[in-house]
């Protein structure tokens, strides 16, 4: 029995020695106990190596995933400061700068502000999200949470490198002149499209909104009362241009007291496709003045808000034939002669859809 046991022990030692030899690639000669310890060390070494590889792989994978999350240089308002008169609405765009690791198919963000100064009353799509679903929003006592997503099948996602507005926040300004609020962004989530839908973020670009006392404000509309966006309002004093601004999406404009020294101003309003209109406004110190202006659409002789419809063509013919009185609106080629045959031709061509009058 002893002999058989010794033989088994010898065979085991030979087996272990061969295994260790094959692992280290060298011939080793050691005692049975030494071989057993070496074997254990080898196994521990192998396990350590395997775990190190797994850990490195996991770290690399996590880093790679983190690097590929959607982000941007910044996200928020363009200007550090925004301002408007009280008792007005103001539209403030939310913009993204240099989108990376997109494309982005959904956006969520919070905007924090003082709701005794201003309040979100609407959120519109921005230039980069013009074809997305309409944004949804919810007001809280700290501000507003906005969520927006592209329409399926996610073919209008915001591409890498994109710069521009993603939303237009419409505020009612209720604070007294001189009051102010920070406009801070938080919890900005930029979600990429399928298949991974990974969610990243971007540094917030925040700012300050101030309610300023208005020296002059008003609204620019067309003949049917629709506000005209992007009309240029220019103020001159004794022939010198003093201040200029553009109307907002409702046609509102305003000037602060700082911009306008007291005096009698010539106010002119221009917008492509509309006739210029002007009026005179008197600016007094510490007194707010209002001046609403209507712009007439070029080619809309019957004042129905449509240029060069069949009734406009008819009116132009009748004016040319001296059957009805005419005015500056009948001088479509701007040569100082009203309702001549060239003006009739322009109206006719516009009615045919061949040209646009301006
Ligand atoms: Ca018309
Ligand atoms: Ca003419």
Of 15, 41, 67, the residue that ends a domain is: 67
Separation of 308 CA from ligand 1 center, angstroms? 6
Which ligand number lies closest to the CA of residue 222? Answer: 1
Same domain, 191 and 131: yes
Of 27, 43, 67, the residue that ends a domain is: 67
Same domain, 157 and 248: no
At 287, list the tokens. Answer: 């007194």
pTM above threshold 0.75: no
Domain at 319, CATH number: 1.10.1330.10
Which ligand number lies closest to the CA of residue 339? Answer: 2
Which ligand number lies closest to the CA of residue 327? Answer: 2
Separation CA 65–CA 306 (nearest Å) = 55
Of 33, 190, 171, nearest in space to 97 by CA: 190
Of 336, 343, 220, 235, nearest in space to 271 by CA: 220
| Overall residue count recorded for the chain in this entry | 358
Which ligand number lies closest to the CA of residue 340? Answer: 2
Owning domain of residue 206: 74-212
Separation of 347 CA from ligand 1 center, angstroms? 11
Q: What is the domain count for the chain? A: 4
Separation of 168 CA from ligand 1 center, angstroms? 32
**pLDDT tens series, the chain, 358 aa:** 444 444 544 554 444 344 433 433 344 444 566 656 666 666 656 555 554 554 555 454 444 444 589 999 999 998 888 888 877 888 999 999 999 998 999 999 999 999 999 999 999 999 999 999 999 999 999 999 999 999 887 778 999 999 999 999 999 999 988 899 999 999 999 999 888 889 999 999 999 999 988 899 999 999 999 999 999 999 999 999 999 999 988 899 999 888 899 999 999 999 999 999 999 999 998 888 999 999 999 999 999 999 999 999 999 999 999 999 999 999 999 999 999 999 999 999 999 999 999 9
pLDDT for the residue 31: 55
Separation CA 171–CA 115 (nearest Å) = 10
Of 212, 233, 253, the residue that ends a domain is: 212
pLDDT for the residue 107: 97
Buried b (16+ CB within 10 A) or exposed e, 129-167: beebeebebeeeeebbbbebbbeeebebbbeeebebbbb
Separation of 297 CA from ligand 1 center, angstroms? 9
Domain at 227, CATH number: 2.60.40.10
Which ligand number lies closest to the CA of residue 311? Answer: 1
Separation of 251 CA from ligand 1 center, angstroms? 21
Separation of 228 CA from ligand 2 center, angstroms? 26
Same domain, 220 and 207: no
pLDDT for the residue 67: 57
pLDDT for the residue 32: 61
Separation of 295 CA from ligand 1 center, angstroms? 14
Same domain, 101 and 197: yes
| Contacts with 323 (C-beta within 8 Å, 6 or more apart), sequence order | none
Same domain, 145 and 92: yes
Do 191 and 105 form a contact (C-beta atoms < 8 A)?
yes
Separation of 313 CA from ligand 1 center, angstroms? 9
Which ligand number lies closest to the CA of residue 331? Answer: 2
For tokens 């241009």, name the residue.
241
Same domain, 27 and 112: no
87: left (phi over 0), alpha (psi -120 to 50) or beta: left
Separation of 301 CA from ligand 1 center, angstroms? 6
């Amino acid at each position: 029995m002893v002999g058989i046991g010794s033989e088994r022990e010898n065979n085991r030692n030979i087996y272990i020695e061969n295994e260790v030899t094959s692992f280290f690639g060298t011939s080793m000669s050691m005692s049975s106990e030494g071989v057993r310890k070496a074997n254990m060390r080898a196994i521990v070494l192998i396990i350590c190596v395997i775990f190190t590889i797994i850990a490195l792989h996991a770290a690399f994978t996590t880093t790679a995933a983190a690097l590929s999350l959607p982000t941007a240089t910044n996200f928020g308002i363009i200007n550090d400061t925004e301002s408007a008169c009280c008792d007005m609405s103001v539209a403030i765009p939310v913009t993204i700068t240099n989108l990376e690791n997109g494309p982005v198919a959904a956006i969520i963000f919070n905007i924090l502000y003082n709701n005794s100064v201003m309040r979100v009353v609407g959120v519109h799509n921005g230039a980069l999200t013009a074809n997305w679903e309409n944004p949804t929003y919810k007001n809280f006592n700290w501000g507003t949470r906005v969520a927006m997503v592209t329409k399926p099948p996610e073919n209008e996602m915001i591409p890498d490198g994109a710069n521009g507005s993603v939303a237009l926040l419409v505020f009612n300004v209720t604070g007294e002149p001189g009051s102010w609020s920070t406009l801070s962004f938080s919890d900005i989530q930029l979600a990429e499209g399928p298949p991974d839908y990974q969610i990243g973020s971007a540094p917030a670009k925040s700012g300050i909104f101030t309610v300023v006392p208005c020296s002059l404000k008003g609204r620019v509309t067309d003949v049917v009362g629709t506000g005209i966006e992007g009309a240029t309002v220019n103020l001159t004093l004794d022939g010198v241009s003093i201040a200029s601004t553009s109307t907002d999406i409702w046609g509102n404009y305003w000037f602060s007291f700082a911009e306008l020294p007291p005096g009698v101003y010539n106010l002119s309003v221009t917008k492509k496709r509309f006739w210029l209109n002007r009026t005179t406004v008197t600016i007094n110190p510490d007194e707010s003045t209002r001046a609403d202006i209507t712009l007439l659409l070029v080619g809309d002789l019957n004042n129905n808000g449509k240029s060069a419809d069949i009734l406009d063509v008819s009116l132009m013919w009748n004016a040319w034939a001296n059957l009805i009185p005419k005015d500056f609106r009948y001088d479509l080629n701007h040569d100082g002669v009203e309702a001549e045959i060239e003006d009739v031709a322009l109206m006719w061509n516009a009615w045919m859809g061949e040209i646009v009058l301006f």
